[in-house]
Structure 1
Amino acid sequence: MAGLLFTPLAWASLSLLLDFRKGRCVSWLGMVIQVLVSLALWYAVMERGGFSYALGGWEAPLGIALRVDGLAVTFVLLTAAVATACGLHAGFYLDACKPWQRYFWPLFWFLWAGLNGVWLGADLFNLYVSLELISLAAVGLVALGGEAAALRAALRYLFAALLGSLAYLLGVALLYGRFGTLSLALIDEQLASCEPALIVALLLMLAGLALKTALFPLHGWLPPAHGIARSPVSALLSGLVVKASFYIAARLWLELGDRLGSPWLAQSIGALGAAAVVWGSWLAFRQPHLKQVVAYSSVAQIGYLFLLFPLTFAVAEPVSLLAQQGITLQVISHALAKAAMFLAAGNLILSIRSKRVDALAGVSHFLPFSLFSFGLAGVSLMGLPPSGGFAAKWLLLQASLASGQWWWVGVLLLGGVLAAAYVFRIYRASFLEVGDSDDFYHPPQSLEAIPMILALLALGLGLVAEPVLSVLSLPFEVTADVNEAQL
């Protein structure tokens, strides 16, 4: 299990010494290894259930503990799939002649290591370290564009990330001062009463993580960063990076929220999520640039995730489980669909040599493949069957009705309609005829195949939702301990 952390760090160090083309070959080999290790971990969890692992044999609270269960290994596999797709696409998409592009590979591997650290982390400080590694790598990837706008977006992202980290770290310090440990499991065992300092700690950590996740109205940094970055980078940021901070927030809420939270707090966070769905979708519909449409769509789709908070607070356990399963499917579906959408958008921009939506006129006749991938990904964002987005929204709808919180049903339905509006706006522009001459650049088939595969996975997720959910144990439940010799 430790190899999922240290192998990407080793590959990052190695690729830092190489030019873009050599780094690409080395990285593609590393992707194969990471996928195989991720599959091996999945097999181990299927065989023996969840387990924990102490690096070097030092147990908590002194050592660094890793923990894995069905949820964690699912996210490890999701990261392997999306990161591999983005890495393959980047190898063909990025310009190897530009000297700064060689830094894509080390930053890519640092990002992957940080993501695995979040999925497998068992204490609050190591989660913080992993989150910071993700943030710094992501900021560097945004700045790789080299233009002044990219540097401004990266700097804005950096300031938001630092502010979010500061709030999170202050909350961690309060918890450490009270319990003398940062292990989530030990804090959960010792937490007996609701104290004002602990409530402040939870609020600080949730606020910092909400900023890093770009929850409305703290989303201002996301559209510039995702819109200006190179398309493989945008796919990584939207598909995976924003999920890491949400994952930590969800863990905090599910483990501590029942004792430190309140109905007012849960409903307020849900209301912000609902506002994100509406406001993000409206802004996506109005954007003149293609990637900005997709970027503001991310703001909207992130809003659904925060319905977890009201739908799991003070409800029956079966209802809470429905909500957790729905949110997990939404995370997986959105990661696949949004990565596909950004990669397809990058192909279209490459083809039309413009970022504007109105420049898509005629592209449907000459370049249908990438446009079709974009549309398939949009089906999942709308929540139409048989997509993963439909399965996720169906579970959330059931949880809303079963918990008596019927108002969230309106958010789910309205969000689907608004998603259809901005997706069909892209299609409307592409079907306008401008003549019979083919003046478009035709990307290689390898560039067009990758987003298609991701979009098909997002579409087919709804058909295999039951087996996927069977892999997911109750979130964050560790059933056994192993030592280094057993791994």
Structure 2
Amino acid sequence: MSDALPAPDWAVLTVLLPLLGAALAFVAERQADRIGFAATTGVALSSVMLLLQVAGGAPYQQSIGGWAVPLGIALKADGLAALMLAMTGLVGLGVAAQALRTMASELPPARQGTAAPWAFWPLWLLLLGGLNALYLSADQFNLYVTLEIVSLAAVGLTALSGKPEAFTAAMRYLLVGFLASLLYLLGVALLYARYGVLDIGTAQSLLRPEPVAQLAMTVMLAGLALKSALFPLHFWLPPAHGNAAASASALLSALVVKASVYLVLRLWFDLFGPTGLATEAAGLLLGLLGAGAILWGSLQAVLAERLKLLVAYSTVAQVGYLFLALPLDGTERGLAWQGVAMLALAHAFAKSAMFLCCQIVQDRLGHDRIRALTSSAKLPRSTQLTLALAAISLIGLPPSGGFVGKWLLLQASLEGGFTLWTAVIMAGTLLSATAMFRVLVRFFAAQPDDPVEAEAPPPGITARLIDLVPFALAAVAILLGLVATWPLMVLQVGAGG
């Protein structure tokens, strides 16, 4: 009889730790930052351990309370879910580390109608717990619950800065989120009324291409497209991401929009695709909307006057790429599916780095107007280098993870003879490069009208280390391209269902 302790259930810890941390941070507001950072660190370690466990070749599965499906609710994690969990944990850890020092400057002192800086931590931990629960869920109604948790926490983070513009954007976000969630819930109700099951795996074996199921798929995908800010339903995203505090913007852009896109892919390939409901026409429509997002979002990024707004519109374009797997791969996981997975991972790290840099630029220069940006002595060189590395991945240049993702998309497009998608990917890449080079030219090439500035006093060692957090996130986006064979191998774990 062995006295060895049982191995921790890493998946359960990724959900329990942030929820417990959120409750403690809410009660002990003076220690909220320490509690929040400790809980985030624990989640990051747990998610990495779960990823290594799944990478061993066996998907994770656990029945809550010992009740098996269909009576109980199962937690599952294949390679894609494990990668998304690890990405969420690591990006969250980076943003939390930056927030330790900058949250007090990002948020005004508490006054009537505004939140104190400590309020960031319970909202962030609630968001983290909801995201992790979503990636582990295999039950359609449980997914609705997690979507609501994520949406409500995201609305709170959007309004946290206390600015009137942020409050207006948060209210718009709230109404859009409610509408999108109701559409998704309507689809779940239709499927349950017809087939009597909620588990995705069980429902897949029962679904038939009939009117009720087709209507359910339509409203569920419409709701998720609205939550994903898919063109032309993107109207709420740039104001929300552009006016929120930088740490909140990094979380919203890097993590929150990925949840609904992930769910679209999960339902398309695991539920509707194998049953014949995911038709070629439906994939074409969603692909065309994705193409519109790529072109429109990239063009608006080129025309943006503020750095933060440029980064926000870039997210609209990046979401568009993630929908191209549907027309390119049909209902089978292929090169395009692998490509959008790589793009989602690389985008999360690069975009969070960019939004954190936006805050550094705002703090040091007092503005983020692109025309007034300069290679100022007030800015740390690490910030300028971080923006360059993040831009490399977002544009899709080698050797970044963004390049690998776009290369796989292009390969899928060329092999299928889809010249329209090839043209869209290339045009989006050129527009993205134009937008990013507008910023980089200002930072790396001295302008004739630049004032001569004295060197800024060197910050303390703690400040210098925290300023390197965005650089580390951007470096991971580049590293993903150099070690791409490993995440691509992990993606195959459990990919067959």
State the TM-score, normalizing by the size of structure 2. 0.91
In structure 2, what residue type is equivalent to 1:373? T
Q: 1:15 maps to what in 2?
A: 25
1:298 to 297, 305, 315: 315
Q: Is the 8 A contact 2:410 2:422 kept in 1?
A: yes
Q: 1:343 maps to what in 2?
A: 356
Q: 2:324 maps to what in 1?
A: 307
Q: Is the 8 A contact 1:93 1:447 kept in 2?
A: no
Q: How does 1:135-154 map to 2 (within 5 A)?
A: 135-154=151-170
1:5 to 15, 20, 29: 15
Q: 1:60 maps to what in 2?
A: 69
Rounded Cα–Cα distance in structure 2 between residues aligned with 1:237 and 1:149:
16
1:108 to 121, 124, 131: 124
Deviations 1:272-292 (A, max 9, x none): 111111110111111111100
Is 1:462 matched up with 2:481? yes
Residue 475 and residue 414 in structure 1: after superposition, are their counterparts in 2 closer, same or farther (change >3 A)? farther
2:136 to 114, 120, 124: 120
Q: 2:245 maps to what in 1?
A: 230
Deviation for aligned residue 1:77: 0.6
In structure 1, what residue type is equivalent to 2:336? A
Residue 440 and residue 358 in structure 1: after superposition, are their counterparts in 2 closer, same or farther (change >3 A)? farther
Residue 439 and residue 212 in structure 1: after superposition, are their counterparts in 2 closer, same or farther (change >3 A)? farther
Residue 366 and residue 227 in structure 1: after superposition, are their counterparts in 2 closer, same or farther (change >3 A)? closer
Q: How does 1:419-434 map to 2 (within 5 A)?
A: 419-430=432-443, 431=445, 432=447, 433-434=449-450
Q: How does 1:152-231 map to 2 (within 5 A)?
A: 152-191=168-207, 193-231=208-246
In structure 1, what residue type is equivalent to 2:25? S
Is 1:98 matched up with 2:109? yes
Consecutive unaligned residues in structure 2, runs of 5 or more = 1-10, 111-115
Q: 1:484 maps to what in 2?
A: none
Rounded Cα–Cα distance in structure 1 between residues aligned with 2:236 and 2:458:
33
Rounded Cα–Cα distance in structure 1 between residues aligned with 2:221 and 2:252:
20
Q: 1:452 maps to what in 2?
A: 471
Deviations 1:9-50 (A, max 9, x none): 100000001235x21112222222212222332233234601
Q: Is the 8 A contact 1:351 1:441 kept in 2?
A: no
Deviations 1:370-409 (A, max 9, x none): 1221111011111110011110111111111222223211
Superposition RMSD in Å: 1.8
Aligned residues between the structures = 472
Deviation for aligned residue 1:68: 1.2
Residue 87 and residue 343 in structure 1: after superposition, are their counterparts in 2 closer, same or farther (change >3 A)? same
Consecutive unaligned residues in structure 1, runs of 5 or more = 479-487
Residue 475 and residue 139 in structure 1: after superposition, are their counterparts in 2 closer, same or farther (change >3 A)? farther
In structure 1, what residue type is equivalent to 2:487? V
Deviations 1:157-184 (A, max 9, x none): 1011111001101111111011101110
Deviation for aligned residue 1:366: 5.1
Q: Is the 8 A contact 2:328 2:416 kept in 1?
A: yes
Rounded Cα–Cα distance in structure 1 between residues aligned with 2:241 and 2:310:
10
Q: 1:412 maps to what in 2?
A: 425
Rounded Cα–Cα distance in structure 1 between residues aligned with 2:451 and 2:15:
53
- Name which of structure 1's ranges 23-32 and 459-468 shifts more when overlaid on structure 2: 23-32
Secondary structure (helix, strand or coil) at the match of 1:61 reads coil
Seq. identity, %: 42
Q: Is the 8 A contact 1:67 1:120 kept in 2?
A: yes
Residue 427 and residue 47 in structure 1: after superposition, are their counterparts in 2 closer, same or farther (change >3 A)? closer
In structure 1, what residue type is equivalent to 2:144? Y
Q: 2:397 maps to what in 1?
A: 384
Q: 2:269 maps to what in 1?
A: 254
Secondary structure (helix, strand or coil) at the match of 2:27 reads coil
Rounded Cα–Cα distance in structure 2 between residues aligned with 1:211 and 1:442:
45
- Name which of structure 1's ranges 212-221 and 247-256 shifts more when overlaid on structure 2: 247-256
Secondary structure (helix, strand or coil) at the match of 1:2 reads helix
Residue 15 and residue 476 in structure 1: after superposition, are their counterparts in 2 closer, same or farther (change >3 A)? farther
Residue 157 and residue 48 in structure 1: after superposition, are their counterparts in 2 closer, same or farther (change >3 A)? same
2:339 to 303, 326, 345: 326
Secondary structure (helix, strand or coil) at the match of 1:52 reads strand
Deviations 1:317-347 (A, max 9, x none): 5xx4211111110100111111111111111
Secondary structure (helix, strand or coil) at the match of 1:386 reads coil
Deviation for aligned residue 1:414: 1.1
In structure 1, what residue type is equivalent to 2:66? G
Q: 1:361 maps to what in 2?
A: 374
Q: Is the 8 A contact 1:367 1:442 kept in 2?
A: no
2:94 to 80, 85, 110: 85
Q: Is the 8 A contact 2:37 2:96 kept in 1?
A: yes
Rounded Cα–Cα distance in structure 1 between residues aligned with 2:166 and 2:345:
28
Q: 1:70 maps to what in 2?
A: 79
Secondary structure (helix, strand or coil) at the match of 2:468 reads helix
Q: Is the 8 A contact 1:345 1:374 kept in 2?
A: no
Residue 474 and residue 45 in structure 1: after superposition, are their counterparts in 2 closer, same or farther (change >3 A)? closer
Rounded Cα–Cα distance in structure 1 between residues aligned with 2:43 and 2:400:
27
Residue 287 and residue 269 in structure 1: after superposition, are their counterparts in 2 closer, same or farther (change >3 A)? same
2:410 to 382, 391, 397: 397
Q: Is the 8 A contact 2:358 2:368 kept in 1?
A: no
Secondary structure (helix, strand or coil) at the match of 2:273 reads helix
State the TM-score, normalizing by the size of structure 1. 0.93
In structure 1, what residue type is equivalent to 2:266? R
Q: Is the 8 A contact 2:377 2:455 kept in 1?
A: no
Q: Is the 8 A contact 1:114 1:131 kept in 2?
A: yes
Q: Is the 8 A contact 1:280 1:300 kept in 2?
A: yes
Deviation for aligned residue 1:420: 0.8
Q: Is the 8 A contact 2:123 2:157 kept in 1?
A: yes
Deviation for aligned residue 1:465: 0.4
Q: 1:283 maps to what in 2?
A: 300
Residue 74 and residue 362 in structure 1: after superposition, are their counterparts in 2 closer, same or farther (change >3 A)? closer
In structure 2, what residue type is equivalent to 1:463? L
- Name which of structure 1's ranges 160-169 and 40-49 shifts more when overlaid on structure 2: 40-49
Rounded Cα–Cα distance in structure 2 between residues aligned with 1:64 and 1:110:
21
Deviation for aligned residue 1:434: 1.6
Rounded Cα–Cα distance in structure 2 between residues aligned with 1:24 and 1:247:
30
Q: Is the 8 A contact 2:21 2:122 kept in 1?
A: yes
Secondary structure (helix, strand or coil) at the match of 1:83 reads helix
In structure 1, what residue type is equivalent to 2:351? K
Deviation for aligned residue 1:475: 5.7
Q: Is the 8 A contact 1:383 1:393 kept in 2?
A: yes
Residue 474 and residue 42 in structure 1: after superposition, are their counterparts in 2 closer, same or farther (change >3 A)? closer
Secondary structure (helix, strand or coil) at the match of 1:67 reads strand
In structure 1, what residue type is equivalent to 2:404? A
